[in-house]
Structure 1
């Protein structure tokens, strides 16, 4: 039989009292830290929440004057100044801290990290790079590496960008294969501009080695061969895109057709595009197919093509094509149909747009890198009509 130990009745209240005292100490410490912050700090937070940034700046400046020893308050103020575009004030404040404060090594590193952000935001990339290179070995190591990569991309220093992205990949375990492939493509474009096709071919193959689904590399390789009159080779490069990203076939549809025309095989080119359209139903393919059908097979076949697409998926683009083909087939009503067609075209305007999946930026033409947020391959290869955008 288990005997009950009565001395436990004395121990239990003791542990309860010990926990209560510990909790009281934590609460007192929390209250002490809260009351040490100026009231203007909380006003500033409230202004930030309500997006009143100018008032937030004034509140945080008051807080800094009251508690000038707090680096955290300085950093918060600097962050707001950067956000509203007062970069010069943020730079001067952080420089003043470095020059006129007795900082320990950790504090000095933190201030330099803030100053580096100021320089980056101001577009002073040389100064930002100098500071970030010094921060690569400390607690800001990964942040500094990311910032340096951003600088190298903006400065179009592609070899440095490749090295930094490779380093980040090893340190973080996050893949940078897609980005690296585009850096190689950018180097290839520089080679093309310098008439150095050998270098361009090498860089494009490096891009494919870095990321086998790099559509851009195969497009450019095909372009180089087509320029040299090697149209069969060019077509083979463009065909590979089907196995990388079928939706990108619309980017090379007209190129494929042009090369088949150079080979005196336009019908074969049209047949290939029709096969792609049957499999993937890309409207950008249809536009090229429609023009080729109109040219090679006549307006009646083009009209039938447009009618089928209008039934399958109604759109102003298909309606415009239907009216265009019908106008050629109906001479008596040609003027009326052309008037309707012009009305449709005015309604279409610039409705077909490429929309960045990262930031929502809308462009009239395809970009490999978003002009707004700089993300690679964030704009789809297939444009969307505005009324289809969710």
Structure 2
């Protein structure tokens, strides 16, 4: 789902991204021709405006009343943050190529080392497809509803869907959250503590000035800031600042020997959650089609979270590239990374909690999660008296 304003902004941004990357993807052997780098900078400057417009449009969708719009907007902002980060890395290598133009051999070494190495053409198109709004396939679901089994079988299918979704969401949040927090710890606690005061602030101001003031280096830093802005929009400044306290608490526990999986399980309470949801299902006597519809919604929550975690994992890989950028090119780089890691790690855990409706982690309430979906769609449906109970 997408609104007209969002769709226009997404199409404009996608065109700009494709135009920027096209020469480097098409000419794999000689990706950066020094004479074309000024044109690359021109295109990137135009794309800055499109990037801001898309962030604003997606952020507006996060406040829409339709849960499907909010879910899609969250995934799209993650995809945009990843694309902005890829753009920044492309521009960094273009800037390095420009700096090396005085030495032919050095220029060839830089330009042929793989500008855009973080992004194959297929991956770029996959990210843009998310931004442009993929249509959900519902034919299989409709066919399953039409060919609904008996209520007992349908109820068992729902029970299995709940068990699988809660287990997988908890495991994925634990794994990716662990990686994000490990990256944060690797930056040093001094940077982490300083970053907590910057979460929710304008990161572009932190970048400041540097001795490398060429257009391409400036654009590289600008798109790092755009990636941050897209991630911050996922939580909003106020929630991000509150979540920062939780991140610091998790880091303290990790430093004292705790496993992050244990922390996430304490937050989500997956065993209690599945038991409570199972009790609701066991007491329901809804039609088989209702069980199937709820099971499909539960699976869609799991799939949506999986898409977001995949994007978050790719973002984390990109952040490792940023960590190697010299301070001359990215001033306050480790501090900026600490801010991004903090926001991303908080979002991963909070959006997982939202997906399962964890009772003790409610900072983010963007979509009806598993507990609420089952409660709202089954509790009010007594169904036929002849329906048997199972599970």
TM tier, smaller: under 0.3
Rg larger for:
1
Q: TM-score, normalised by structure 1?
A: 0.19
Structure showing greater relative contact order (alpha-carbon pairs closer than 8 Å, 6 or more residues apart): 2
TM-score (norm 2): 0.19
